[in-house]
């Protein structure tokens, strides 16, 4: 079960960067987070709650990734 959870989370993080705009990256993060959250939540018997939590976390992750990529493209690192 730990391997499945780790694989799902890694996949969501790896694919959260799909897209080139803030909306695309945030949206793809939300969708992948919801799917991962539903899968993980189903193990505890509450896939709906897991999907909602995952969607929020995925959207936040996608947004933060987008902001990081924008800084990288503008050369605004230390």
Q: What is the pLDDT of residues 61-77, one digit of tens each?
A: 888 888 888 888 888 76
Angle of helix 2-15 relative to helix 47-74, nearest 10 degrees, comes to 40
Residue 58 is predicted with a pLDDT of: 85
Angle among Cα 62, 64, 66 to the nearest 5 degrees reads: 70
Residue that has been written with the tokens 């969708």 in this structure: 31
Q: Are 62 and 27 in contact (CB under 8 A)?
A: yes
Q: Are 38 and 54 in contact (CB under 8 A)?
A: yes
Residue 7 is predicted with a pLDDT of: 64
Assessment of whether the complete model's pTM goes beyond 0.85: no
Residue 77 is predicted with a pLDDT of: 64
Residue 8 is predicted with a pLDDT of: 62
Q: What is the pLDDT of residues 16-72, one digit of tens each?
A: 556 778 888 888 888 888 888 888 888 888 888 888 888 888 888 888 888 888 888
């Amino acid at each position: 079960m730990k391997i499945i959870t780790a694989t799902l989370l890694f996949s969501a993080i790896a694919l959260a960067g799909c897209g080139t705009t803030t909306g695309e990256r945030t949206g793809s993060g939300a969708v992948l987070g919801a799917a991962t959250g539903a899968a993980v939540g189903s193990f505890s018997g509450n896939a709906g709650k897991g999907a909602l939590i995952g969607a929020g976390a995925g959207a936040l992750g996608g947004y933060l990734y987008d902001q990081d990529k924008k800084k990288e493209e503008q050369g605004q690192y230390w």
